[in-house]
Amino acid sequence: MPLRRALLALPALLALGGPLGAESYPTRPIALVVPFAAGGPTDTVSRLVAEAMGRDLGQTIVVENVGGAGGTLGAQRVAQAKPDGYILLLHHIGMATTPSLYRKLAYDPVGGFEPIGLVTEVPMTLVARKDFPANTLAEAVAVIKRDADKLNYGNAGIGAASHLCGLLLMQSVDTAMTTVPFRGTGPAMQELLAGRIDLMCDQTTNTTEQINGGTVKAFAVTTPERVAALPKLATSKEGGLPGFEVTVWHGLYAPKGTPPEIVARLSKALQTALADPKLIARFAELGTAPVPAAQATPAAHRAFWQADIAKWRPIIQAAGQYAD
C-alpha cells in the first residue's frame, strides 16, 4: 500500500482496534493459571480447554499450576496480575465459596476478576482405596461410622470441591473423619492409589478412568442421574444418601480491568473450544460435558457466579466453618 493511502487508512484501523489494538490480540502466549496441582481434575479440564482455545486464538495457552490453600493462591496470582489479556484463571465452585469461607484474603475474591464464561459442570464421585472393606455406599457408610477415627479423607484444602463434598458426606452420615489436605486431588489420587489415604470425593474428570480401570473402589456418583461414562455406578440417592448431591461448575476469568474487547475475544474462543468435537468426546469419556454456548459468556457467568455466592454464604455461616 502506498504510504499516503496507508496513512489515510490508519485512523479507521485504529478505530477498529486495528493492528495495534484488540484486533491483533493475542500476539504472544497466554498463561492460564490452574489453582490446583497438575494431574488433577481442574488441571485436566483446563489443559483440554487451553489447547482448543489456543487453536482459535492462534497462540499457545500455557497452563501454570499454582496450587495450595484451597485454590486461593492461584486465584490471588491472577487477581493481582496485569490485566492485559495474557494471564487467565480457570477455577471451579471454589470461586463461590471462598468469599464466605476465607475472611482474610490478600486479594478481592469477587471484584478482582472479570468473568469470561462458564466451562463445564462436573459430577463428583465417592471413591476409596482398592482394598477398602466395603462394596456399596451403605457398606461404606457403616465402615465410616465404625472406624471414623482410623480413616483418612483426602482433599484439596478448604473451599476445594473435595472439601465441600467431604463436609456434605460427613454431615449426611453424622460422622467426622480426619482430613488430609493436598495441593490438588491429582496428588491425593496418587496417595489413594498407594493406599496411604482411605477415601476421597472427587470430580469424574479425575476418577472415571481409575474407577473403570478398577484401581479404586467407587461407591456413588453425587448427581440425581447416573453418568454415562460410569453406567454401573449408583447415584447417592440410589445408594441411600439422597442429600449427598454436589456438582462442580468451572469458569474462566481474567484479572479485573482486562479490556472488554479482549474479554469478548476470549469468550468467543471459549465458545469455539467448547464446540470442538474432540473436546466434547474427551469430556464425555471423563463423565462431563461443556456448558451450552449461551453460558460461556461473561454475563451468564457473572449471574451464575453471583447466585452461587449468595447460595453458599448462609450455608457456610450456619456451619460456622471458616478457613482462618
| Residue in the block written with cell 454401573 | 232
* Positions in 135-174 near ligand ASP (CB under 6 A): 155-156, 160-162
In the stretch 39-68, what mask flags binding to ligand ASP with x, by CB under 6 A?
Answer: -xxxx-------------------------
C-alpha–C-alpha distance, residues 53 and 279, integer Å: 11
Cβ nearer to ligand ASP, comparing 263 with 279: 279
Residue of 83, 117, 154, 186 interacting with ligand ASP (CB under 6 A): 186
Residue of 98, 179, 203, 223 interacting with ligand ASP (CB under 6 A): 203
Q: Which of 144, 202, 200, 201 is nearest to 177 (CA)?
A: 144
Q: Is 202 in the site for ligand ASP (CB under 6 A)?
A: yes
CB-CB contact of 49 with 116 (8 Å)? no
Q: Which three cell numbers stand for residue 220?
A: 456413588
Choices 37-45, 56-64, 141-149, 275-283 (CB under 6 A): range interacting with ligand ASP: 37-45
In the stretch 85-124, what mask flags binding to ligand ASP with x, by CB under 6 A?
Answer: -------x--------------------------------
Go through the chain and tell me how many residues it has.
324
CB-CB contact of 153 with 192 (8 Å)? no
Residues near ligand ASP (CB under 6 A), total = 17
The alpha carbon torsion through 301, 96, 182, 31 (nearest 10 deg) reads: 30
298-319 and 94-101 are packed helices; what angle lies between their axes, rounded to 10 degrees? Answer: 40
Residue of 26, 115, 123, 184 interacting with ligand ASP (CB under 6 A): 184
Under DSSP, is residue 132 helix (H, G, I), strand (E, B) or coil? coil
What residue ranges bind ligand ASP (CB under 6 A)? 36-37, 40-43, 92, 155-156, 160-162, 184-186, 202-203
